[in-house]
Structure 1
Amino acid sequence: MPYPEGHKLKVRGKIIESAAQAFRTHGIREISVPFIMKGAGLTHGGFYSHFENKEQLVAEVCRYAISDTIALLQKAADEETQNPKIHAVIHYYLSQHHRDRTEMGCILPALSSEISRASEEVRHIFTQELARMIDFISNIAEVDKSVGSALLSTMVGTVVLARSVNDAELSDSLLAAGKQQAKALLAA
């Protein structure tokens, strides 16, 4: 009996979602194809009917995860009624919730160090997606790309450091300082 129309695309999406969650939480190198497939509720053997290799999956995850993050940040911006929309984006991105929910968080702080050692194909896709994120931040903040790049860099760096320490008070103070500096950057 044949699968219904769109089945293969739906399965591919489940694999990408599983991989995105796993990569955000554990990194790329630590996660195996069988682990990803198990997370998608599938068997390992089916992976290669959707992807040529893990590198192709990583590239797809970069596209998916940035789109996911932009959607979350856009939702936060759309809910803001009194302050500039970028303030809602900054508060969401530099929140305890975003810091602590790595499985749903932005891939930039989670994967940048690994991507720097990835294949040229993956780095190319990551570069495109980073540029898309910079455009989103620049547009929502109504600033040029130079300021948008600096703002995003501040936010990503803050999350990296806040996730890296084992002192909750220091981590929270890093988030607070990052919010303050991000807003100061916009005011400059």
Structure 2
Amino acid sequence: MPYPKGHKLKVRNKIVESAAKAFRTHGIHNVSVPFIMKGAGLTHGGFYSHFDNKEQLVAEACRYAISDTIALLQQAADADQEKQNSKINTVIDYYLSPYHRDNTEMGCIIPALSGEISRSSEEIRQVFTYELERMIAFISNLAEIDTVKGSSLFSSMVGSLILARTVSDTDLSNNFLSAGKKQAKELIMS
């Protein structure tokens, strides 16, 4: 009996989602194809009927993860019903929150993979570059600033999050988040 229409695409999407979650949490090089496939509820034998190689999956997982993060940040911005904060301040508060810091599996892939991407293939670096530019455009539009200032703002946010995730001292980690929020909000006002 043949699979229903759209089955292959659904399976492929499950693999991409599993990969994005695994890469966000463990990095690219620490995650095997069998691990990704198991996370999708599949055996690793079917991988090559969906992807030519792991690099192709990394590229697609980056696209998926950035789209997912932009949607999550837009949802956070739209959720501030009382408009006590501007949308960009709401996004900054969410991005530099303990929740985002501690939930890497669903967090932004940019701070999670930047170090590894710099040593990846040109194909992966091109996809990552495009997705990073898309994220900067989103942040810039939300903040109503140009992309030069948006790049600076997002760089500050990513750097703060990386440092907050890196240290073992919770107080120091929280200080990085607080300082990052303050700096990001000041940057918008300047």
The bucket for the TM-score relative to the shorter chain is over 0.9
Q: Deviation at 1:84?
A: 1.0
Aligned twin of 1:166:
168
Aligned twin of 1:151: 153
Which one-letter code corresponds to 2:90 in the other structure? A
Distance 1:181 1:6 in 2: 46
Provide the secondary structure at the position in 1 that maps to 2:85. Answer: coil
1:94-124: CA deviation from partner (whole Å, max 9, x where unpaired):
0000000000000010000000001000000
Structure 2 unaligned regions, length at least 5: none
Take 1:171 and 1:83, find their aligned partners in 2: how far apart are those partners?
24
Per-residue deviation at 1:82? Answer: 2.4
Match of 1:32 in 2: 32
1:150 is matched by which residue type in structure 2? S
Pairwise CA distance, 1:83: 1.8
Q: TM-score normalized by structure 1?
A: 0.99
**Aligned-residue offset at 1:49:** 0.3
TM value normalised by structure 2: 0.98
Aligned residues: percent identity? 72
Equivalent AA in structure 1 for residue 165 of structure 2: R
**Equivalents in 1 of 2:23, 2:155: separation in Å?**
21
Deviation at 1:148, TM superposition (A): 0.4
Give the alignment of 1:33-72 within 5 angstroms.
Answer: 33-72=33-72
- Which residue of the partner structure matches residue 87 of structure 1? 89
- Asked if 1:6 is matched to 2:20, the reply is no
1:52-92 Cα shifts (integer Å, max 9, x gaps)? 00000000011000000000000011112222110000000
Q: 2:124 aligns with which of 102, 122, 125?
A: 122
Which amino acid letter does the alignment assign opposite residue 129 of structure 1? E
| Matches of 2:90 and 2:149, distance apart in 1 | 17
Match of 1:96 in 2: 98
Q: CA RMSD in A?
A: 0.5
Instruction: Structure 1: give runs of 5+ residues left out of the alignment.
Output: none
Aligned residues: 188
